[in-house]
Amino acid sequence: MAEALIDPPRGRAEWKKYLLAIFIGLLLVVVILGGLQVASYFWTQPRGETPPPIIETASVPYLDSTTRTYGWQLLPSVQSQVKKAQGEKVIYEVTYKTDSWRRRVVFPEPDLTRKKFLIYLGCSNTFGQGLVDEETLDFQLSSRFPEYQSYNYGVPGWGLGHVLALAENEKFSEQIPQKTGLVIYSFPTYHVDRFFGGLQTIDWAGGLPYYRWESDHLVRRGFIHEERWLYARAARWWNQSFLRSQFHLAGPFARTRDELEIACKAVSEVKRRVTSQFEQAEFLLVLHPHSDGDDLTVCLDQYGVKWLDLRDLFRGHDRNLVNIEGDGHTNRFGNELLAQQIETQLKGQGY
């Protein structure tokens, strides 16, 4: 048996060779990836004349980025003339008005004789970014339901985490005189990405409310870039990597089924917290056509959330027919299509 044993000195020499080979292999991988990263930098540099930057200007600020509750929110009682342009080309020029509760106002005066409310939750497409009042989804849909008074809580750039924070912190029943009505959350599926600080969001959005699933419920833990700073830096690095930029890989940051479940729970929590403040309120999640990727329809029914799938509504239409040219937000025609479909759904249910 003793003759079959590996000679100890020889065994150590073999292990050293293996470790050296592994080290050299890893070094080659690092060198190759580094070279590809450098090459991609030069490959992706713009060639020829660089177009002028797109700049938005406002006569007075309409966003407040100092809030520790939401990251950013609308300012109250503001009327601001907003212009977005690329060089000499004007993309839009509009006026935004907000009320004392930081809601966008698209109708001249609230009609308090209306017996029901219509609450809008969402982001820039709900707010009506780049649109005059009459072009917004709020105006287009609310005009079809004259017995409802609309209240637009949409804020540009918000996601599911912001809307959940709003549902947790706002006393809607004190801000809205009507006691019965409908809550509509216009939901592009990139709201899931904004909820988790995903690759579509991590580079530009700093004030993302961070929620964790703890002891069978969602708990707010500050902001993603502060509480998960290592993840945020890694995700931003991955966004800038050669593999990500050239092959559009989600890599280790792709959404899991468990995360989709958490997002569905977050939507159901928004529903519970808002509707529970009123005598009678219904909730409808409208899946917006600006959706690609994360699919919450796999678990919404499980958590009692009614939803309307309009993700394919713009399919077949030229992009510039339904979106603001040079900007990407839904334009008047796109909102008319949305309003028609939502109206059909609601009136079919007796609204």
Residue 191 in any domain: the answer is: yes
Is 50 exceeded by the pLDDT of residue 37? yes
CATH of the domain at 291: 3.40.50.1110
Per residue in 147-166, pLDDT (tens digit) is 999 999 999 999 999 999 99
Domain hosting residue 289, numbered range? 103-348
185: confidence class by pLDDT, cuts 50, 70, 90: very high
Q: What is the pLDDT of residue 46?
A: 61
Q: Give me the chain's average pLDDT, please.
A: 90
- Give the HSE-up count for residue 246: Cα atoms under 13 Å, Cβ half-sphere: 13
In order, the DSSP letters of 70-109 are TSSEEPSS-EEEEEEEETTEEEEEEEEEB-TTS-B--SSS
Between 334 and 113, the more confident residue is 334
Per-residue confidence band for 253, with pLDDT thresholds at 50, 70 and 90:
confident
What digits encode the pLDDT tens for the residues 7-19?
555 566 677 667 7
Query: Which pLDDT band, with edges at 50, 70 and 90, does 323 fall under?
Result: very high
Q: Do residues 311 and 288 lie in contact, with contact meaning Cβ atoms separated by under 8 Å?
A: yes
pTM of structure: 0.88
pLDDT band at 1 (very low <50, low <70, confident <90, very high): very low
How far is 290 from 292, CA to CA, in rounded Å? 7
Cα–Cα distance for residue pair 284/277, rounded to 1 Å: 16
**Segment 199-252, tens digit of pLDDT:** 999 999 999 999 999 988 999 999 999 999 999 999 999 888 877 877 788 878
Q: Above 90 in pLDDT, residue 107? A: yes
Q: What is the pLDDT of residue 339?
A: 98
Q: Is residue 299 a part of any domain in this protein? A: yes
Distance separating alpha carbons of residues 298 and 287, to the nearest angstrom: 13
- For residue 56, being part of any structural domain is answered with no
Mean pLDDT (whole number) for 130-151: 97
Q: Which three-class secondary structure state does DSSP give residue 286? A: strand
How many domains does the structure of the chain reveal?
A: 1
Q: Answer yes or no: is pLDDT of 27 > 80.
A: no
Domain presence at residue 22: no
User: What does DSSP assign to residue 6?
Assistant: P
Cα–Cα dist 342/314, whole Å: 14
Query: Mean per-residue pLDDT for 263-273?
Result: 98
Model confidence at 294: pLDDT above 60: yes
Evaluate whether 84 touches 327 at the Cβ level (below 8 Å). yes
Give me the pLDDT at residue 336, please. 98
pLDDT score recorded for residue 58: 98
- Mean pLDDT across the stretch 307-320? 94
Q: Is the dihedral of CA 253, 72, 82, 151 positive or negative?
A: positive
